[in-house]
A and B are shown apart, each in its own frame.
Chain A
Amino acid sequence: MIEFINVSKKYNHDVAALEDINVKIEKGEFVFLVGPSGSGKSTFLKLMVKEDEVTTGTVIVNNTNINKLKEKDIPFLRRKIGFVFQDFRLLYDRTVAENIIFALRVVEASEKDIKFQVKAVLELVGLSGKENFYPNQLSGGEQQRISLARALATKPPIIIADEPTGNLDPKTANEIFKTLLDINARGTTILVVTHAKDIVDGLNKRVIALDHGKIVRDDARGGYLK
């Protein structure tokens, strides 16, 4: 589903943000990407959605070599990946339902699909009945659920969550991860960048650790530190 082959990325002439990365994530996996700040996690994500270009190597997403992707095809790559951000990135002048409809409009979904999907994803993330609330009327955890619902609405085969619980309390964080596991159980590949040690340790899933732009650990079942 996601494959990095000999990938290096240099921003300046000498500093390598990522160096010789080789990693393969299969369809339906749940993977944690961990590491200290500046270890290359963000660069890893940016290369996946082609916000940045690799310096050398190949990135394959959903059976497509995205190095060769033309600029006009980038939107279609991104439709295969649902993004969840630490700061939610919601539209605060639109209701919960409208935030999700917004995503469906972008992918030019039909009117029928929009109606169906809004109801389905809100149910999935546990926000049924909150359609007409504005994000600011809801808690941080609920706002992250909107963001999750928005990512899911377009039915992407991959979900990337960049510190999804960074701004949330532990209890709410646990609930968000429970939802992510639910989504994973339905076959969606999930990649989570996180510093939430307890959660990583508790879930015992695959862990890829980055440090100074290199993979220092890739355990099929592991914890945050080991």
Chain B
Amino acid sequence: MTTNTYLIKEGYDNLKKHGSKTLSTMLIICATMIVLGIFIILLQNVNKNVETVKNEQGFQAFIDDASTETEIEYIKDRIKLIAGIKGIKYIDKDMAFEDAKSVFKDQEYLLDGLQKVKPFPASFIITFNDINEASIIKAAVEKVDGITKVKYNETTIQAVITISKIANIFLLGLGSIMLIISMFIISNTIKLAVYSNKREIYIMKYIGATNTFIRKPFIVEGAIMGLLSALLSFVLISVTYVVVYARLPKVGTSLGIFGFMPYSQLWYQILGIFIIIGLFIGVVGSAISIRKYLKV
């Protein structure tokens, strides 16, 4: 057994020795981490949707029902000439009908009688490079012959961007507070652990132990506490997300409008953040509380 493995073992033994205190500390830290986790998840979803909005959301320009295929090709070419357009996609009447069906997924029968009529007009989905040029481009598209109406929900997009900014700031603030609270809790627990080992520390100092040697087991204890709390919180939050996600209506996802991310795109971020935070509060929290006991 090298000195380091011995010190890690000491830290682990301390943890067991302070069992119930360790457990309650971990549960409190889990609670704060879960709150933090929920906000991270919400934020990730908001950010992802904002990205979708920024990248994919464009105008929907509806085409006059009377237009022939050649005319539609002509309209398309005209729109392509407008400066600032990134892409243009034609949605024919069949596709429009399919989209509508997916919106009414559970009540498809409502559309049964309309199968032959296909009441939804064909359209172009037009994306653009810079959201700031949106209104200019919109005006240009409206002037093209054969376009009946252009739908563009500018205020929604701006609102989403603002919400995401606020959410980011809020998460940062909340995260910092949670971090400080957790660190305080861990440091208190370690303080008790250090206190109950005061005698040992005193003897160690007299025998000639370096501060690092005395510190290590407590740092290990704090790190294990932080890490276990992180893993426990991760398991709890993962199970909850997966269960809730399965029950969420999937309306909208296929249209590229708001939808929740599948957990496969989230778990590694949550796990990574939790582990980093757990280790950080464990190590820093215990380092703070040992300092004053090292003066002999």
Give every chain A residue within 8 A of B296 (Cβ-Cβ).
51
Binding stretch for chain A, among B93-101, B163-171, B198-206: B198-206
* Residue pair A91, B203 in contact (C-beta under 8 Å): yes
Chain B binding surface, main DSSP class: helix
Q: How many residues of B contact A (CB 8 A)?
A: 17
A111: interface (CB < 8 Å): yes
B248: interface (CB < 8 Å): no
B 107-136 contacts with A by CB, 8 A? none
* Residue pair B206, A83 in contact (C-beta under 8 Å): yes
* Residue pair B213, A106 in contact (C-beta under 8 Å): yes
Binding stretch for chain B, among A11-19, A59-67, A70-78, A201-209: A70-78
* Residue pair B206, A108 in contact (C-beta under 8 Å): no
* Residue pair B207, A78 in contact (C-beta under 8 Å): yes
B 160-205 contacts with A by CB, 8 A? 199-200, 202-205
A197: interface (CB < 8 Å): no
A49: interface (CB < 8 Å): yes
A107 to B207, CA, bound (A): 8
> Which of A49, A51, A72, A75 has the most C-beta atoms of chain B within 10 angstroms of its own C-beta?
A75
A154 to B208, CA, bound (A): 10
A33 to B13, CA, bound (A): 41
Q: Could you tell me the distance in whole angstroms from the C-beta of B73 to the nearest C-beta in chain A?
A: 82
Q: Could you tell me the distance in whole angstroms from the C-beta of B200 to the nearest C-beta in chain A?
A: 6
Known: A51-B296, A75-B209, A77-B208. 6 other contacts (CB 8 A): A75-B211, A78-B207, A78-B208, A91-B203, A102-B204, A150-B207
Pick the 9 closest A-B CB pairs, nearest first: A79-B208, A78-B208, A106-B209, A75-B208, A106-B207, A75-B210, A108-B3, A103-B207, A83-B206
Q: What are 11 A-to-B residue pairs whose CB atoms are below 8 Å?
A: A51-B296, A75-B208, A77-B208, A78-B208, A91-B199, A91-B203, A102-B203, A102-B207, A106-B209, A107-B208, A111-B1
Interface residues of A, Cβ cutoff 8 Å to B: 49, 51, 72, 75-79, 83, 89, 91, 102-103, 105-108, 111, 150, 154
